[in-house]
Amino acid sequence: MEDWISRTELQRDWISLVFLFNFILLAVLRGTHTRQFKTFIRFIDPKLYFKIYRKDNFLLQSFTALGTLFLLINLCLGVFYCLTLFEFGSNSFSFFITLLTEIVGLIFLRFVSLKICCKLLGIEGFSEIFLFKALTYQIQISILSFFLFLFYEFSYPSQEFLILILILIAGLYLLSQFSLYREYWGVFKYNLLYLILYLCTFKLAPWILLYSILK
């Protein structure tokens, strides 16, 4: 236990800046889009947010761009904590940056590949709606994970607590994905090829590739 706490102390200098940067991102997100942010954080009932803010080219909106950057950094933090928990990587800033670079690269390639496949299958309109809702859920989960990681890092650096956080985040992510697939099953059952490609190629393959790169 003492060894685990000492490891946390060593990484606190640089990781404090990571948390500060993400906190500033969240503050800017709330300050520049106050009304949208208030609707966005209605985690239990996101239908109102989907109804109001579903627009074309939503990826080009500043709210989405800032939220995605916030999501990517928190995702990297989660992967970093998970890997260092099992002593698969070092508690260093260089390892964190390596993870962030590889995750951003893989997600970009996944996004481009997904857009190409959707265009070939003729379901671009559906994919835009699906991506909007999936990204919304993921950013919402990342807000919760940010505060949980913050509490873990600076108030309760317990290995058991970190494991609980990671399980909770994974559970919420799976629940959000299940909710999406259930909502759009009427579309998926007539496009099983898309569903198989999406799950195998765009969900599992990037993480397998990331693992092989790090290994």
pLDDT in tens, 81-107: 988 888 887 888 888 998 898 888 888
pLDDT in tens, 104-140: 888 887 777 777 777 776 766 777 787 888 888 999 9
Q: What is the pLDDT confidence band of residue 190, given thresholds at 50, 70 and 90? A: low
Contact 140, 124 (CB under 8 A): no
Sign of the dihedral through C-alpha 152, 158, 159, 161: negative
118: number of Cβ within 10 Å: 20
The neighbour count for residue 107, using CB atoms within 10 Å, is: 16
Contacts with 73 (C-beta within 8 Å, 6 or more apart), sequence order = 18, 21, 22, 25, 100
pLDDT tops 60 at residue 52:
yes
Residue type, 113: S
pLDDT of residue 4: 46
Is pLDDT at 209 greater than 80 in this prediction? no
| Spatial CA neighbour of 8 closest among 119, 145, 142, 161 | 161
Percent of all residues in the chain with a pLDDT value above 90, rounded to a whole number:
27
pTM above 0.85, yes or no: no
> Is 71 a residue whose pLDDT tops 70?
yes
Where residue 21 falls among pLDDT bands split at 50, 70, 90?
very high
Look at residue 149 and tell me whether its pLDDT is greater than 90.
yes
Cα distance between residue 122 and residue 124, in whole Å = 6
Average pLDDT, the chain: 80
Record the tokens describing residue 39, joined without a space: 């609707």
What Cα–Cα distance (Å) separates residue 67 from each residue in 50, 85, 135?
Answer: 15, 27, 9
